[in-house]
Amino acid sequence: MGRHAGFLTAASALGKKFSDDGPHLIYLPERTFVLEKFLAEVKATHERFGRCVIAVSEGIHDASGAPIASLLTKDLEHDAHGNVQLSGNGALADLLCEEIKSKLGIKRVRGDTFGYLQRSFIGCVSDVDQREAREVGEKAVQFAMWGARDGSVAIKRTGFYSVDYELLPLDAVAGKTRVMEDEFIAPSGTDVTDAFRMYLRPLLGSGMPDAFRLRHNPVAKVLQPGH
């Protein structure tokens, strides 16, 4: 997800526990995507770790602003406004996988496209998000009852993590997108900064599910060659 803003894709960085965990590379629409640079970074990462996990926003684009998905294929749907349909069809992931296979010779490549998963998976929900979603709804009813006011309820941070709710005019938010600030994106363009991690961490509430690794204990070979 992320036609113009990479917040959700960038949030994948907080799933890392160990230094060599994926995602190893993160590509956001706030930065220009160069296919040759992408392939070089994938190659270097794969050679270093023996694997490469990549998180890509659907809206990555070239220097002219053209979506990469539209440059790699012509068989994409368009919505009612004439915009290229980027979400849910898996085309971008398939196309990047094919580029990696054909240009880098890496045989095992798989692309997974998230569509409904991040919108509906109730098995991993932030308690902060649950509470704020309900409070936004309550505030919307209150604003409507206190004078039939039109607008959109916004969540505004008032401290490291405390929030207030305010009513904004619809013309102040409709059709507008907040993109990730430069301070949130690492100079490499393929990772996030500690400032972004600090910004995002409170939204996780009680935290991410813990991940573990099996310890590598060598086992002596029992069978002899030919047995």
One-character DSSP codes across 173-210: TTT--PPPPGGGB-TTSSSB-HHHHHHHGGGGTT-PPP
Average the pLDDT over 25-54 and give the result.
96
- Contact present, 78 and 91 (Cβ < 8 Å): no
Please provide the average confidence, as pLDDT, over all residues in the chain. Answer: 86
Query: Which of the two residues, 90 and 56, has the higher pLDDT score?
Result: 56
Q: What would the mean pLDDT of 181-199 be, rounded to a whole number?
A: 96
- Containing 37, the helix (H) or strand (E) segment is helix 35-49
Mean pLDDT of 54-83: 77
Other CB atoms within 10 A of residue 171 CB = 10
- Inform me whether the pLDDT recorded for 226 exceeds 80: no
Q: What is the mean pLDDT of residues 204-223?
A: 77
Give the tokens for residue 22: 């994926």
pLDDT for 2 beyond 80: no
* pLDDT at residue number 106: 93
Mean pLDDT value of segment 45-64? 94
**Domains in the chain: ranges and CATH:** 1-121+178-208 (3.40.50.460), 125-176 (no CATH)
What is the torsion angle, in degrees rounded to the nearest 10, for the CA atoms of residue 200, residue 202, residue 205 and residue 209? 50
pLDDT for residue 76 is more than 80: no
61 has a pLDDT exceeding 80: yes
Q: Is residue 80 predicted with pLDDT exceeding 80?
A: no
Nearest to 31 by CA among 184, 177, 176, 196: 184
Instruction: List pLDDT tens digits, range 118-134.
Output: 777 777 788 898 999 99
Q: Which of 22-31, 42-51, 53-62, 214-223 has the lowest mean pLDDT?
A: 214-223
Tens digit of pLDDT for each residue in 7-21? 999 999 998 888 899
Q: Residue 26, exposed/middle/buried by CB under 10 A (0-12, 13-18, 19+)?
A: buried
